[in-house]
Amino acid sequence: MHYDKYFGRGQKVFLINISDERDQEVYNSFTGQVLSCLDDRLTLKTPYRLFSGDTTAFRHGMQFKLTTESLGMGIQLRAELQEPPTPDSIVLKPVGDLSVYQRRQSPRADTTLPLLHVSQKSSLEAFRKEWRRISADLRQPNPPRLKMLETELNISVGGIRFDMTQEPTSLSLVVVDLQDGNPPVNAVAELIWQKRSQDNEKFQCGHRFIDILKEDQQRISQFIERLTGAKQPAGRQKELTDSM
């Protein structure tokens, strides 16, 4: 199959972990950009470091669902890790035929909630390690008190938008209290877009949740439904599920 018709150089691709050995309770993903595409080899560059040092959790044979947009359609393809990745690139082998789907938008809500945002220049694996630690701490009988600020934001199952006073980094940790009697939602987020506010004093930033508990995805969906009455459309977004 001529995959390069759908995965051209420079194309943005979303990679969702669908390996059998993954944590089934966690939605785990990241973004890449096509460097080259052959019938049996797809090379992607990442906008941030995947890992630092000589060790990595990425293993030969790991499988990912690749999603992208082409010709106005959603495209998905199963692929597996072909060789050890470098800190900022990954080589995958397409497995099977690709399929097309109709892209859907998740309901969003404008609201004000307690928020903690930790932004720094670290690798994806470093953020994932810290995310796992915070997720465990938040579910302890006596969880730590986090310094969260009431923040105007826009939230969906897939991500969050809010203003920042400092220039954002590619990756960050986001903790948001839905005030539903449960621990705050905690996620690794990647920066999707940014622009200066009209007064040039703030950065308006859109972030995508790339590591988040599936139960927290469901809680966000329920929160938005309670707030707006908008239900998640039947058949969840392909970009938000770790199955083909």
pLDDT of residue 2: 82
Per residue in 155-176, pLDDT (tens digit) is 999 999 999 999 999 999 999 9
Share of the chain above pLDDT 70, in %: 98
Residues facing residue 69 across a β-bridge = 74
d(CA 209, CA 240): 9
d(CA 27, CA 39): 28
Provide CB contacts within 8 A for 22, sequence distance 6+.
28, 242
**What does the domain layout of the chain look like in residue ranges?**
3-101, 109-231
Q: Which ranges of the chain have pLDDT less than 50?
A: none
Classify each residue of 40-51 as buried b or exposed e, where b means 16 or more C-beta atoms within 10 Å of its C-beta: eebbbebebbbb
Q: May I ask the CATH class of domain 3-101?
A: mainly beta
- Report if pTM > 0.85: yes
pLDDT of residue 235: 61
pLDDT of residue 236: 67
Tell me the pLDDT of the chain averaged across its residues.
93
Could you say which of 3.40.50.970, 3.40.640.10, 2.40.10.220, 3.40.30.10 is the CATH number of the domain covering 109-231? Answer: 2.40.10.220
